[in-house]
Structure formats: structure tokens, C-alpha cells
Chain A
């Protein structure tokens, strides 16, 4: 049923992909993009459709990921193996309820972080947290011609979830703003160091910064706090990409309403990723911001739960509207998780293929 998309000879072309997203060029096809694809889903395609053995060692996982993105028709994939010597962040584990279960799903321990006071802040060996060079080379040496990596690592999320914990951040913003500022500063510099290390590499197409700033109805912290602690770092990262003639994409879930103008006008994001129909459907975003690229756009709930025929109708509406406006690449609203049915994922890829061949 999906033979054509599973067994084609791809011709990745990151430069065209970036030109389309930034409006320098009209799209001649529907480009595909993903922030991430769960390995369980890749593995099924790899084993059942490509008849290849899936291996679990670190090197094989990287090579299989690259091959998967290449063969499925992507122009880029995300590189997020940023650091070595990170401290063990607090985590929770629970049974994975997805159809393609991991067995156990690991969750960030949200309510508590590693830093509660200045002593704990000073005890973090910041200097020892270093950019992971080995893993980058493995990717760079194995990328097919035409494909490029987008480098990516969270800033705000790591401070919120791992360093301070959500409640620590919230109360810290009010009771201990100097400590909060110091944590943002320390981690902001680390993420900058990661981006500075690789941005000039010819295999890197740009930065795909990933940081959820919102939830369903508002930003997680106030726009005032975001403007003070977070957005200046986004600006630095975006400027770095632009200074190297590369693109800056932002993945950010949730309702960004009050800071969207900052992201577009001040930070000058080239494209936004993460769309939830409950918050702002991708078509609405494209109508409001036709000059900003839109990445993905297929609502996770619909991708996960619609019957394929209904999903096709929904995809048709997104693709026709967004392609008409331009600066668009199709993909999931967040990532292709292990609870997205394989048939639905392939239906989405097929929709891009069909539209491109009209």
C-alpha cells in the first residue's frame, strides 16, 4: 500500500528545504520534517518493510536513524547529543501504555530539581559539562549527500525541569530571583557553547532550538519573566545561526500568544514547530504569519487517533492551505511517538508524496 514511499530513491536537498521555509524559493514539493521519531516505529519499518536487522548498539542506532530519515524522504534530521558529564537528572519511570511500548517510559521528575540553593548551584561542576564531540562526528561522517543536521538542545526546559524543578522555578522567580538568574545564565552559556561548537560545520544546516514555553492556555511563566531570563538567549542563538548564514527554527509547545510577536520580530525565527489544534492550528498560524515558516502541523491527537481515511481528509486541508501560503513543511505537530499508529504515520508521508506529484 505504501510501497512507493517506502522504496523510493530519495534526493535530499537541505538547501532547497531551507530556501522554501525562509520564502526564498517556491516549493516544488511538500517537504517533510520531524523533530523526532521514536525508534520503535523506525524499527518496524526497518525490519518489516526493508527486511533489515535492527541493531541496538549506539553506533548502529545512529546509522539506522540516518538511513531511516534519508529513505523516508527527509532533508534534515536533528542532532541533540549535546553534552558529556551532565549530572544525573532526577527521573520517574512508569509502564509505557503505548501500542509500540518501550516497556518503561522515563519521565522528567518535574516537581523537583537538583538546585535548591546557592550551595547546590556552586556544587554543580559546570566546567566539566562539555560538548560531546564523538557523537557529532558519527553523524557528520555518515550523512547522505544533500542532507544536513539541525543542532538542538533545550535551554528553558532544562532549567525548569532538571536544574530547578518546576515548583522551584516558580517560587524561585518570586523568592530567589538572583539564584534563578544565575542558573539561567550558567545553562544559557552551556547551550550557546554547544551551538558555537558546531554551527560553522558544513554538515550543519542550522539550529532547531527546542524549548516548550507554553501550555494549553498561556505561557508557563509570564512574558515579563520570559523576556528577562529566556528570550535574550533565544536571540543569541538565532543571531549565531543567522551570522553563519544558517536558519534558526524553534520548537515550542503550548500557547505562545503573548510572546509570538517577540519570537517573530525580535528573535527572527525562520520557522516555528509544534502546533496543537487546541492552541493554534498550523493553518491559522500560516494565515497570521505568512512570512514565517511552519514546520509540522499535524495535531498529535489526530495523528494518533483518527482513522486513516479521516486523517487523509485532515491532511488534505492542512497541506492545501499551507502549501498555497508557502514556507511550509509537513510533519507531526510534535514528534512521531510510539503511540502513533504506523499506518497513520505512513498516511502522513504519503500525503506529502501525493501532493508533490499532483
Chain B
């Protein structure tokens, strides 16, 4: 691998937050093609981070720090990418914690990781009523919807969101991912969600895999 790209990749993987901006700026000067920087250094860096997380070499703080470094790098790269046709985010996802639920650690980590994977994220925040999800999907036409809940009692609101989408004839337009402490694969099946995410990185993998199909 090109040494400049390698250094950038290591900066992300080792979450060197103090130096990521400098390294990114140097990379842009050395490598004129922003897509090359994205595809050969930044996205592979997050794959390495994901692998280390799966291997329990990294935990949430390291994951969060690496994703923060990635997003800082992306902010610098973004104006350059915008000059290249078809380099923008490959897909769009709406995410939020459901009505009654104010927990958003998991949802925020999913957001950071998805953004780091070059996915456009529309984050509706927490305590989101079903009609807000419906309205946002109507307006933005995303490919995916991600729902999060911490408690068994708020988890049940996921079903309300899906019912609201059915009523609005939008259900077939989005793939629905659900996750959170009480959520299980069985519950995802029960409420007819498309995917269950046991952990934040599952959401990234599901979105990436779906795009490749």
C-alpha cells in the first residue's frame, strides 16, 4: 500500500485524534484522487477497526474514538469528494430511539459507524413518535430505517412504527433494522422487522451487504 495511505489508515485504526487532520491534509496533497483515499485508506481502516471490535481487541471506547477520527477525516475529504460524480453516500438511513425511550448510546454509535461507512444518516434523535418516522420516510425516501429501544416497555413501540408504515403504504419501501438491550431476533421476526442487530456493527454490515446485493 502507498505509504501515505497507510499512514492515514493507521491514524484511523489507532484513533490518533490529535493528528488525524494533519495526516488527512497531507494525504490530500499527496494523492489527488479523493475516491482513492476513501476506498483504499478510510473504508478499509474502519473494516480493520470492526474486525478488532469483533475480536474483542477493541471495545466501545476504541470503536467510538476510531469512528470519531474517521468522521474528522471525512469532513476534510468531503469538499473534494463532492467534486467527483457518484462519490457521495451510497444510501440513506433514518434512525431513532422509539417513542418513550430516551436511551441513545447504542443509536449514536450506530450513527457514527454508518457515517464512517459513507452512509447518509438522518438521525431523528430519541423519543420519536411513529408519525415522525413516517413523515421522514415520506420526505427523504431512505432505503433503511433503524429503530432502537432500551426497555421492554419501549421496545413494544417498534411494532407501532411498523404498523404506522404499513398504514401509510410505506412498509415495502424501507428495510427495517431493530436493536437494543431487550430486542431479540425472535422479536424482530414477531413484528416483521427485516433485520435484528445484536450490536452496532451489525447495522453497518447489514447495510453494506444489502447494497452489494
Contacts and interface: CB of A to CB of B under 8 A. Distances in A.
Given A222-B59, A301-B182, A105 B15 contact: no
A218 B106 CA distance: 13
Interface string B131-144: 00000000000000
Interface residues of B, number: 34
Return the 10 tightest CB-CB contacts between A and B, nearest first.
A107-B102, A97-B100, A339-B153, A170-B61, A222-B59, A92-B102, A94-B127, A304-B152, A98-B153, A170-B64
A96 B60 CA distance: 29
Contacts of A94: 99-102, 126-127
Interface residues of A, number: 39
A174 interface: yes
Interface string B90-105: 0000000001111111
A173 interface: yes
Given A170-B64, A171-B17, A253-B181, 6 more contacts: A97-B154, A167-B64, A174-B65, A216-B199, A222-B58, A301-B184
Contact of B59 (A216, A220, A276): A220
A305 interface: yes
A184 to B, nearest CB: 14
Contacts of B127: 92, 94-95
Interface of A: 92-99, 105, 107, 110-111, 166-167, 169-171, 173-175, 215-222, 225, 253, 258, 276, 278, 300-301, 304-305, 337, 339
B61 A300 contact: no
Interface SS majority for chain B:
loop
A111 B152 contact: no
B198 interface: yes
9 contacts: A92-B126, A111-B104, A174-B17, A216-B181, A218-B59, A221-B60, A222-B59, A276-B181, A304-B152
B66 to A, nearest CB: 10
Contacts of A167: 64, 108
Interface string B51-65: 000001011111011
B108 A171 contact: no
A104 to B, nearest CB: 10
B152 A339 contact: yes
Contact of A258 (B56, B106, B181): B56
Nearest to A305: B152
A188 to B, nearest CB: 19
Contacts of A278: 184
B21 interface: no
Given A174-B65, A219-B59, A339-B151, A300 B105 contact: no
Contacts of A258: 56
A196 B21 CA distance: 48
Contacts of A225: 59, 61
Contact of A111 (B108, B153, B154, B198): B108
B156 interface: yes
Contacts of A166: 105
Contacts of A173: 61
B68 interface: yes
A97 B59 contact: no
B36 to A, nearest CB: 29
